Amino acid sequence: MSYAQKALKGVIFTFLFTSLAAALGYVMRIVLARNLSVVEYGLFYAIFSFFGVVGYFRHWGMGEALVKHVTGFLVKNDEQRLANTVKTVLLFLLCTGVILLLLVIPLADWLAAHYFHVAGAGILLTLFAVAFFFKAPKELGRFILQGYQRMFGYASLQLLENVLLFLAVILLLQWNTTALTPVLAYLFTFAVLTPLNLYISTKGKKIWTTRYHYDKKLFRKLWKYGFAIMIAGLASMVYLYTDILVLTYFRDLAEVGIYSVAVVTVMMLTYVFRPFESVLFPMISELWARKRLKDLTRGLRLVHAFMFMAVLPVGFAFIAFPDDVLGLIFGGEYAAGAQVLQILVVAVFFLLIALLNLSVLNAIGKPEIGRNLGLYAAIANLVLNLVFIPMFGMLAAAGSTLLTYAFLFVFSSFAVTKHLGKVLPWGRWLATILAGCAMLAILFSLKIWVFASAALVVKAVATLGIAGLCYAGFLFLFRAVTMTDYHYLKNTLWNTVRDVMKKKASGPAS
């Protein structure tokens, strides 16, 4: 199977399962928003964001370090060091989990009263600390599967997690409609999936039967690489959590709840990137190690171009219907976040390309570049939030995010170009933006003049359908997509499907 087929096959499987998982996770948030008060919803996601930050540093980038080294050891067929890597990372995550519990639980009541401004939230913090003890070992199983490039299992575990989480929320809501319900749901799901994920990911391997030898040199490599990855990802962590943390302290929890639904809605767009990242990270590492630079650069040009083409029309639809999206889905009180949603959509366009750039740099062994950029972006975003959120609230949070990710996009693009040459499709991006602007003009025209008096659902389906078809035509008109691309993708897709069908016909692989 060619690398193009291998990548496409992995992306298809991962995209399908992560899309289902994302959709289910989004539905769960809708259920919570419609059953909890805005304040209770805001309280839960303020606590979730707090542990997102704490848990991020607890993780230390060890999962990504494991993927990087497992891929290398597989190429060398070094089972001893592969097993040592998995066990070393697991022990590290268990130790940092204990430290997390010892730090958070004694301070839970104080944090509840002085930071979250809800005196009774101490028990929620304690329970979520226990849940996050299980979180990192749970995710280790998925990282092991990613290192082995078993993308079906990798994506399946994420879907299973969201299914269990959703069912737990539905059942617990029959008993309680406060922030305690999602906290208990996460605790149950993480506790159940930790041993299950580790069992599935290592089944049939010699990881647990191979005797463990502490390798100080290996640990230092993992530590150093993981630290670079952690710092590089600071910008993403800041985008996901720091805005909400600052809002929690300076503003009320209702505003936190409204901002949270805008963020989670926009973050749905990043699920276009995740299958590319999970599939391409180990593959880029392998191509780089084998010095197949021609295949690498060609693939990256296509990925950069088509990922942006895929996400842009959805983002523009959010810009055209922000109040309808938030109000209809989450409830009328959340429509106040319409302007925030529009600003964050533009920010996510920059974010997606920046994340792909950083993933490429990490995969070719240049994590220090992303580390430095992530650190500068995180500091800038935090400063902007601290200065402007007290005065302008969630609009300032969204604006700070936009500026931060524009910075990250520009400088990560320069770094990728420096190390790999002309792999960024600037011309295609410009053509895609032109096609998107033409689509947006049609979208607004249909919304205002043609379907103005139609029912909301009819208006949304009709305008998005017509505008989407026009967008596809504009992509060819402005040469963002050429017939050569079309035939290349068609042939690659056909060969991939044919390969999958042959495997099915011949029975399960051993």
pLDDT digits (tens, 9 = 90+) for 126-176: 999 999 888 877 888 778 877 776 766 777 888 888 999 999 999 999 999
Question: pLDDT band at 182, cuts 50/70/90?
Answer: very high
* 82 pLDDT more than 80: no
> Which position has the higher pLDDT, 121 or 66?
121
| DSSP assignments along 82-110, one per residue | HHHHHHHHHHHHHHHHHHHHHHHHHHHHH
Task: Strands of 218-296 (E only): list them.
Answer: none
* Chain centre to alpha carbon of residue 232: 14
CA distance linking residue 321 with residue 380, whole number of Å: 30
Q: What angle do CA 226, 143, 497 make, to 5 degrees?
A: 130
Note the pLDDT of residue 507: 46
- Note whether 64 and 362 are within 8 A (CB): yes
Mean pLDDT of 264-288: 69
**Average pLDDT of the residues of the chain:** 81
The 10s digit of each residue's pLDDT in 350-379 is 988 888 888 788 777 777 787 788 778 888
CA distance linking residue 319 with residue 322, whole number of Å: 6
**Any idea which residue has 């299973």 for tokens?**
160
Mean pLDDT of 401-421: 88
The three-class DSSP label of residue 150 is coil
Element (H, E) at 234: helix 234-237
| DSSP assignments along 161-199, one per residue | HHHHHHHHHHHHHTT--STHHHHHHHHHHHHHHHHHHHH
Least confident window among 1-15, 96-110, 278-292: 1-15
- Note whether 127 and 182 are within 8 A (CB): no
The 10s digit of each residue's pLDDT in 196-252 is 888 887 777 777 777 777 778 878 888 888 887 777 666 667 666 788 989 999 998
C-alpha distances in Å from residue 272, one per residue of 76, 290, 318, 410: 32, 28, 15, 21
Mean pLDDT of 489-501: 52
**Any idea which residue has 């999206």 for tokens?**
325
Note the pLDDT of residue 394: 93
The 10s digit of each residue's pLDDT in 423-458 is 888 888 999 999 988 988 888 888 777 776 666 677
Quick one: which of 154, 414, 132 has its CA closest to 277?
Answer: 154
Note the pLDDT of residue 28: 92
Note the pLDDT of residue 257: 92
CA distance linking residue 269 with residue 288, whole number of Å: 28
Note the pLDDT of residue 398: 93
**Any idea which residue has 């950069």 for tokens?**
304
* 505 pLDDT more than 50: no
CA distance linking residue 348 with residue 391, whole number of Å: 24
**Any idea which residue has 């991006």 for tokens?**
429
Q: Classify residue 428 as exposed, middle or buried by CB count within 10 Å of its CB (0-12, 13-18, 19+).
A: buried
Note the pLDDT of residue 510: 31
Instruction: Tell me the HSE value of 101 on the side-chain side, using a 13 A CA sphere.
Output: 12
**Any idea which residue has 């848990």 for tokens?**
55
Residues found in the chain: 510
- Note whether 359 and 277 are within 8 A (CB): yes
Q: What is the 3-state secondary structure (H, E, C) of 468-491?
A: HHHHHHHHHHCCCCCHHHHHHHHH
- Note whether 73 and 82 are within 8 A (CB): yes
Q: Tokens representing 424?
A: 């960024």
Amino acid present at 68 = K
Helix then strand then coil, % of the chain, to nearest 5: 85, 0, 15
> What residues does each domain of the chain span?
3-424, 427-499
Which residues lie below 8 Å from residue 18, measured CB to CB, with a gap of 6+?
155, 158, 159, 271, 274, 275, 278
